[in-house]
Amino acid sequence: MVVCVCNAIKEKDLRAAVRNGADRPSKVYAQLGRKPKCGQCLAFARTIIESQVATA
Ligand code: FES
């Protein structure tokens, strides 16, 4: 599933970034070498980050 349309970030990329230590959207995007653009994805990204952190 694509989380961020602007940057073509998939859920699995986001979860991998969290496993590598990113704990909020700005860190996830930075780790992936991207920047949030429109911001539409941030709430969803936070939800995924929280669920990934909870299962870590
Ligand atoms: S959908 Fe992620 S910045 Fe636009």
Structural domain boundaries in the chain: 2-55
Q: Which residue ranges in the chain fall short of pLDDT 50?
A: none
Query: What confidence score (pLDDT) does residue 25 get?
Result: 95
Residues facing 47 on adjacent strands:
none
Ligand 1, pocket residues at CB < 6 Å: 4-7, 36-41
CATH fold of the domain at 2-55: Arc Repressor Mutant, subunit A (1.10.10)
Query: What confidence score (pLDDT) does residue 11 get?
Result: 97
Query: What confidence score (pLDDT) does residue 12 get?
Result: 97
Query: What confidence score (pLDDT) does residue 22 get?
Result: 96
Q: How far apart are CA 4 and CA 12, in angstroms?
A: 12
Q: How far apart are CA 21 and CA 7, in angstroms?
A: 20
Closest CA to 24 of 5, 3, 48: 48
Q: How far apart are CA 42 and CA 55, in angstroms?
A: 20
Among 1, 2, 6, 28, residue to substitute to test ligand 1 (most atoms within 8 Å of Cβ): 6
Query: What confidence score (pLDDT) does residue 55 get?
Result: 85
Regarding pTM above 0.75, the answer is yes
